[in-house]
Structure 1
């Protein structure tokens, strides 16, 4: 692939800015935007990053702020939706456990009302059936508890992500100078000191 080294046009600058703003709004990284623009304009990602940080960004400060607000709002909506889904799932799990307990109580009541006096062999058979049913119900309770634990783990992860995003947003709001970040292997952002 040939790498261009000619001057940037106004259209190239607009494409660079629009792509980066789109990535910011969608919660993506500027590095991914640089890659996308580089592929489209046959330039290196580094050239796109340099052009953005040195020249183009200065003309788009307000748009960058708006894109970050949009991203923040989208993250809040996503988190609220996830929390709502988790709360609904928790309620559903509790309802399943309640219905299992209620079903067992009805079985016991029916058995006590309708159990004729039978031989010990028939009683042993009924006990075996009830133990089998009880085992099934215990397995169902275990399954529901595991689902609950998985949902709780997802909820805790979402809350942790929201807190990290909130801290990042607070850093951006209290420090108006441009910040540059780098993503480490674990997906965490680390701030790069301005040179």
Structure 2
């Protein structure tokens, strides 16, 4: 068993933590289960993962959390709807294909027809399931990309804010320097006076 880590969290680890927690929220799981899953992958305790999520990561994914909750509601609705459709289909099939009584004869041709029909339904179900798996994987990939972009956007926003603050500070420094130059020039001009020489010309005299 690998030792429990206590070093600082990296950006990739924060991203993994966010992805797993949001997936559990979306799929109806608990955050505790998510913390345990991340803890096993990163050799950290579930408590450490929970503390990291609540103290830092969760604040950066507020919109992602809301989206995951909405998706959980939609998946729940789709599950209920699919179950109703399945029950309805079973009812229709039973009505369309009543069971043969013991007195009715079963021909070889009818058995072949039944097996062929069953094979077609199984193939169609397999294709639907495969398409579903591909769609789910695509959604997960897009969500991962979305979370990564959200984190990158947060980082760039912080950098932009820091640059704006530095720019304002630079403008203030330049303004103070300009005022100092103007004051020094005015002070220098006040120290200059003129007097008339013996020939009646004005000459500049420093105070």
Q: Return the TM-score normalized by structure 1.
A: 0.47
Larger Rg: 2
